[in-house]
A and B are shown apart, each in its own frame.
Chain A
Amino acid sequence: MTVLIVGGGRPLYFLCRTFLAKGHNVIVINDDAEECTQLARRLKVTVICGDGSDPATLEEAGAAGADAVLAVTSRDQDNLAICQLSVLQYEVPRTLALVNDPDNEDVFRQLGVGAFAPTRLFASLIEQRTAADAITNLLPVADGKVNVTEVKLSGDSPAAGRALRDLELPANALIAVILRNGDAVVPHGDTVLRTGDRLVLLTLPENHGPALRAITGETD
């Protein structure tokens, strides 16, 4: 499958890694020249530098041959345009848009564009955080193909006190959000984990166990 992803930042990077790990062909459109160079250097992806909502850029990236288009920029209007152009002009069979404003999830549906709103998902996760257990399975996504788990860091966890980038997490695992003192923090590589943090962990089933062990240090 060929997946065309328009966007940037950590979400794009990890999406690329996830699709590559499953053996898919990935094309990226990003509008920052420096980030494009980094992506091309670190991942086996085709990188096109430009505005993904410009038909000329989509054409150059080979949208006409893509099986799916994902629009994950931080601007809802661009994500809408990217998905609509992909369908109207290049007949891409599947598109999905990230919506930053949760209200737009419904708006996009009314306009015929598939959308997901991480903000809404994270908000409901935070509301649910009353569990006392160290590990809570929050919800299965896509018929159980993705696990969303909440893990509480204890003092003897090998991950406590370490920066995220120094964790030896297996592939296909992502710490999406850290719940700390009632706040939600979207982490980056420099974020240092602390005892008492509750991590919202996204994993694919095959690496669920190894990812949990890397965080808790427990062997089951």
Chain B
Amino acid sequence: MASDLYIIVIGCGRLGSYLANQLSSAGNAVVVVDWNERAFSNLSPEFSGFRIEGDAVESAVLRQAKLDKADLVLATTRKDNVNLMVAQVAKVVFSVPRVLARVFNPKREEIYRRLGVETICPTTVAAEVFLRATAPPSAGVSAGVSPAEALR
């Protein structure tokens, strides 16, 4: 990935802080948004970006984070609906070129994909890895049901 992007990470939990640390040390300008100030303690001392304390479903908070200038928004909170709302607002209202949302519920993920929201489902990803690890060496998983279907 290019290393001079303006990237906004929503949520500073385990995933959000990990991404923020990595992207920041790769040389990108990173802003992290979390409603809980204590979450920022997950950031490494080398993190050189900005922190914004606030609820990301509040338009004012997203404006403060200058979403209109962002190249990339990553919505990583633990709440599917927060991530999906922020992702859509980033795309439609602030015209952010690339937006990714973490969505835990596979059924919900599938529906929003139809709406053009780019999603990553940890449940499906983990299921894929498990199936691959446990599949017979020759067969692979491609012939079986897809993990997303298996979860339904």
Contact = CB atoms under 8 A, between A and B. Distances in A.
B81 interface: yes
A84 B107 CA distance: 14
A80 B108 contact: no
Interface in A76-121: 76-78, 80-81, 84-85, 88-89, 101, 103-104, 107, 110-111
25 contacts: A53-B108, A54-B107, A54-B108, A55-B105, A76-B57, A76-B85, A77-B57, A77-B79, A77-B81, A77-B85, A78-B81, A80-B81, A80-B85, A81-B80, A84-B115, A85-B108, A88-B115, A101-B58, A101-B59, A103-B60, A104-B58, A104-B59, A111-B88, A111-B89, A111-B92
A55 B111 contact: yes
Interface residues of B, number: 21
Contacts, number: 56
Given A101-B58, A104-B57, A110-B93, A77 B111 contact: no
Contacts of A84: 112, 115
A89 B88 CA distance: 17
Interface of B: 57-60, 79-82, 84-85, 88-89, 92-93, 105, 107-108, 111-112, 114-115
Interface of A: 53-56, 75-78, 80-81, 84-85, 88-89, 101, 103-104, 107, 110-111
Interface residues of chain A: helix, strand, loop or mixed (majority): helix
Contacts of A85: 108, 111
Contacts of B115: 84, 88
Nearest to B77: A77
Contacts of B58: 101, 103-104
Nearest to A112: B92
Contacts of A53: 80-81, 108
A104 B57 CA distance: 8
